[in-house]
Amino acid sequence: MINKKVENALNKHLNSELYSAYLYMSMSANFESANLKGFANWMRVQIQEEMVHVRKFYDYILQRGGKVVLTAIDSPPAGWVSPLKVFEDALTHEQLVTNLINALVNLAFAEKDHATVNFLQWFVTEQVEEEASFNDVLQRLRIIGKDGGALFMLDKEMAARVFVPPATTAGQIDKRVLTPCSTRTRCFLQIFFSLPLTNNWSIGGEQACASL
Ligand code: FEO
């Protein structure tokens, strides 16, 4: 059974991950409005990543006999002056999430909850990748500056990003993040992110199903 203090902190963090998805959805919409379809796609994929994070916390709290408590999600900003500003804000947000994860690890250690310390290690590693991925785009935008042609080229590149479900061990898909789908049962993710319906288990659509 999970300690109440840790359970509350995990629930609070689950809300932060939902906020991340909400923030990136707002950023994606902002890019769509600016006709930067590639950037919009990149953010859509990021939303899917964030929902995997949400699902991991959700499953873990339940697995430990805790209660999932969903609370109101703050409104994200709705407008940015440039792609550069979007990625500056996004990186700042990811750095905040990293600090929140580190604080959770500290709490789990203080409460001698080794299972939660172990669970959080995936997120410690994930945050290194998250910050690096946002920073990579940010640095390129800084180089591009006001060069519209270069921005157009980067937008094309951003269109190629696809969602890949996380692996647990080499070559394995983490089946805990997969959801059943059929023509009659639509999971939240499929409705929300317009993922294609299949008659298998999927989070990433047919591509993920095909690799199972
Ligand atoms: Fe869930 Fe991007 O951290």
* Judgement on whether residues 118 and 197 belong to the same structural domain of the protein: no
Whether 112 and 175 map to the same domain: the answer is no
Question: pLDDT tens digits for 65-76?
Answer: 999 999 999 999
CB-based contacts of 161-165 (< 8 A; 24+ apart in sequence):
161/41, 161/42, 161/45, 162/45, 162/204, 162/207, 163/45, 163/48, 163/49, 163/203, 163/204, 164/204, 165/52, 165/203, 165/204, 165/208
Report residue 159 as tokens: 């269109």
pLDDT band at 166 (very low <50, low <70, confident <90, very high): confident
176 and 159 both lie in a single domain: no
Please indicate, yes or no, whether residues 179 and 208 belong to a single structural domain of this protein: yes
Q: Is the domain of 184 the same as that of 158?
A: no
Give the whole-angstrom CA distance, residue 27 versus residue 153: 19
DSSP, res 175: G
* Same-domain status, 115 and 211: no
pLDDT at 172 over 80: no
Question: How far apart are the CA of 65 and the centre of ligand 1, in A?
Answer: 24
pLDDT band of 165, cuts 50, 70, 90 = confident
The domain in which residue 174 lies consists of 165-212
Quote the DSSP letter at residue 179. E
* pTM above threshold 0.85: no
Q: How many angstroms is it from 20 CA to the middle of ligand 1?
A: 6
Q: Is 80 exceeded by the pLDDT of residue 112?
A: yes
- Phi-psi sector, 43: left (phi>0), alpha (psi -120 to 50), beta: alpha
Q: Are residues 159 and 208 in the same domain?
A: no
* Pair (111, 157) in one structural domain: yes
Structural domain ending residue among the three candidates 123, 146, 163: 163
Domain match, 42 and 136 both: yes
Ligand 1 pocket, residues with Cβ under 6 angstroms: 17, 20, 50, 53, 94, 97, 130
Q: Which residue has the tokens 């059974």?
A: 1
Domain of 32: which CATH number? 1.20.1260.10
Which range has the worst mean pLDDT, 77-86, 139-148, 201-210? Answer: 201-210
Domain end, chosen from 145, 163, 181, is at: 163
Which stretches does DSSP call E strand in the chain? 179-180, 201-202
* Number of the ligand 1 atom closest to the C-alpha atom of 46: 2
Domain check: are 141 and 176 in the same one? no
Are 16 and 97 in contact, with CB atoms under 8 Å apart? yes
- 64, 136, 56: which is closest to 94 by C-alpha? 136
- CA 131 to ligand 1 center in whole angstroms: 9
Identify the band that residue 1 occupies on the pLDDT scale cut at 50, 70 and 90: confident
Higher pLDDT, 147 or 190: 147
> Which residue's CA is the nearest one to ligand 1's atom 1?
50
State the total domains in the chain: 2
130 in the same domain as 60: yes
Confidence of residue 167 (pLDDT cuts 50, 70, 90): low
What φ, ψ does residue 162 adopt, rounded to 5°? Answer: -125, 155
Do 91 and 137 fall within a single domain?
yes
Q: Which helix (H) or strand (E) holds 53?
A: helix 37-63
Is 84:138 a contact under the CB 8 Å cutoff?
Answer: yes
